Chain A
Amino acid sequence: MDGKILITVGRQIGSGGLQVARKVADHFGIELYDKNLLMITARESGIAQEFFAMQDERPSALGRFARFLGIGGPVYADSGEYSDVGNLSGDNLFSLQSKVINRIADNGSGVFVGRCADYVLRDRPELFSVFITANEEYRIGKVMERENLTKEEARRFIESSERKRAAYYNYYTFKKWGDSSSYNLCLDSSLFGIESAASLIADLYEKFRR
């Protein structure tokens, strides 16, 4: 396919969204960006990767609280043009990461997993945003296998991780995480498997760009 390809994939925990995204990226022969975004952002900003990992798709209420105690953040006075330099607040890390996503999109194609990329790239005509869901049983099974957990532990893991992920998304995007109106397409991967889901998305993307 000619021209730029921008696809974002949101996903429930254990829905296989990442694998779907990888298949889509392979189909078009373009890069996949997920956790490696942290590494790229860390390299470009000079801020250690741990900080990005600490606040990856998770809100940092504690950090925000500290900032308003007047410690570690410009509360009364802003040092202006330097404000995003070496600033380790979650808000700033998000803004740095968004800049990287935008720069990648400026330079070419990509499939982006999570990190509010659908919001960051919202004004681009090439963007197609997808959200992958799956039924509970399927997701619990996947998480049990991946994280080596019991059924009950997996259920709790999904619940708490998704709460954080939703809080992060809702905080930065003014939209609702997982809500159908936030995406172009919502898809249940447990219905027809990773492979078909990926080819369906690729197919729809080609139709959309035609």
Chain B
Amino acid sequence: MIPVELGTEKIGKLLKQYATPAIIAMLATSLYNMVDSIFIGQGVGPMAISGLAVTFPLMNISIAFGTLVGVGAATLISILLGQKDYKMANRVLGNVVILNLVISFVVTALSLIFMDPILYFFGASENTISYAREYMVVIMWGNVISHLYHGLNGVVRSSGRPRLAMMATILAVVLNVILDPIFIFVFKMGIRGAAIATILAQVIALVWITKILCDRDNVLHFSREVFEFDFKIAWRSLSIGMSPFLMNIASCFVVILINNQLKRYGGDLAIGAYGIANRLCFLFFTITMGLTQGMQPIVGYNYGARNWSRVKEVVRLTIFCSVAALSLAFVVGMVMPDLAVSLFTRDAGLRAISARAFRISVSMFPVVGFQAVVTNFFQCIGRVGKAIFLSLSRQLLFLIPFLLTFPSFWGTDGVWFSMPASDLVSSLVALALFLPLMREFDRLGKEPVSQVTQ
């Protein structure tokens, strides 16, 4: 039932085998988020970048509503397919479509009606609101497309065809890269052009996914009878999706807090700089996320088999790779931050602030490489409470108090400093939890090997 190689093959080879597809998929997702920023920065200007950064929380809230449906449904479908309950799985598929249509319609209506107040609340100013509005109105009209695309892509992924789902993501990225310059430079549509390109790319990717899901040879496929609203399915999808939804909303509020502190202490350009630095940090961080996903099966299997020395070896190697990857971000940030941010803008003023923001943001990245792996490791071995605490500590628990206090001492720099400060404190906490665990493994390793079965 299980490939034995997990317990015998060289750890390095296993990690490479399991982590590589995950890293590629994660990088595709993160590039997807960067493309618009790059073209808008290069083609429209520094204020447009700030306007775009202001829209991130609203975009994320919209995505959060998408995952509210998508994650729950994908989980249900994967359980049902495991039980070969194809009829019910297909009904979940139909209900994904119905729920996505209803929710995205409500989100679109509300955000279009209250667009300006929302954007001001998220950190927009008189200078940036027009860019933010222009971009967001198009994105919101295309909201139904985005929700369906993300939702159905998740369904395809969980139905045992992850490669197909990844290809759809890559297709959308590539199309966006092709269409962005056409709409911005050829049609001279400015920031609105970038939004149209994004939606258009999603339309094409969605058509492709829909075509796959119409194929009757597929276990999961559309038919008339699946489009029947089922309250039980809907409620269950939503209740499973609720925790990721709340988590997304919480992280949106952190971004809103950051934007508002930056607006107060630094102005519009600082918000744009945050947008740029954040995109760059995330690009490097995806490598770590891919690594931890690759580590998971190897740790899980060997922990289950009570092979403590191999468990230790996996986690050590993953930490090493992750620290190396994020140290690369550190080196780029220290040596040539200006070159990195010049990908997004040619404006000297914005470049200077972004370079500083990026440099400070990554100043603790090597230890973040450690913290992220340890957080994941706790989850892998079933110590869920600690994993949740560690995960929240870096992005929420420690970050918020720093964000609230630091700027009053150091202004804009205070906002940037909050991030490495939170990184450092949460990494120390991770270390404090990790060391006893390692000692526990050493002790267990010395005991005579007990049988897995009683």
Contact = CB atoms under 8 A, between A and B. Distances in A.
29 contacts: A45-B304, A46-B7, A48-B304, A48-B306, A62-B385, A63-B384, A66-B384, A66-B391, A67-B379, A69-B391, A70-B391, A72-B380, A72-B387, A73-B379, A74-B293, A75-B71, A76-B29, A76-B289, A77-B162, A77-B166, A86-B6, A86-B297, A86-B299, A86-B300, A91-B75, A91-B79, A94-B82, A119-B83, A172-B83
Given A76-B25, A79-B294, A91-B79, A85 B388 contact: no
Contacts of A65: 243, 384, 388
A185 B409 CA distance: 72
A45 B22 contact: no
Interface string B144-169: 00000000000001101011011000
A61 B243 CA distance: 9
Interface of B: 1-3, 6-7, 18, 21-22, 24-26, 29, 71, 75, 78-79, 82-85, 88, 157-158, 160, 162-163, 165-166, 232, 236, 240, 243-244, 247, 289-290, 292-294, 296-306, 375-376, 378-382, 384-385, 387-388, 391-392, 452-454
Contacts of A172: 79, 83
Given A51-B382, A86-B304, A174 B296 contact: no
Given A62-B385, A79-B21, A86-B296, A46 B6 contact: yes
Q: Interface majority SS on B: helix, strand, loop or mixed?
A: helix
Contacts of A45: 1-2, 304
Interface string A68-96: 11111111111110110111100100111
A187 to B, nearest CB: 26
A39 B451 CA distance: 11
| Max chain A Cβ within 10 angstroms of own Cβ: one of B75, B232, B302, B384 | B384
Nearest to B25: A77
Interface of A: 39, 42-51, 54, 60-80, 82-83, 85-88, 91, 94-96, 98-99, 119-120, 123, 171-172, 174
Contacts of A70: 289, 391
Contacts of B384: 60, 62-63, 65-66
A68 B304 contact: no
| Max chain A Cβ within 10 angstroms of own Cβ: one of B21, B82, B376, B388 | B82
B83 A120 contact: yes
Given A72-B296, A72-B376, A48 B387 contact: no
Contacts of A77: 21-22, 24-26, 29, 157, 162, 166, 290, 293
A85 B297 contact: yes
Given A47-B300, A87-B300, A172-B79, A82 B18 contact: yes
A174 B232 contact: yes
B82 A95 contact: yes
**Smallest CB-CB A-B distances: 3 pairs:** A86-B300, A72-B379, A77-B25
Nearest to B158: A78
A73 B162 contact: no
Contacts of B292: 71-72
A29 B18 CA distance: 46
| Max chain B Cβ within 10 angstroms of own Cβ: one of A73, A74, A82, A99 | A82
B152 to A, nearest CB: 15
Contact of B162 (A46, A48, A79, A94): A79
Contacts of A85: 2-3, 6, 297, 300-301
Nearest to A41: B1
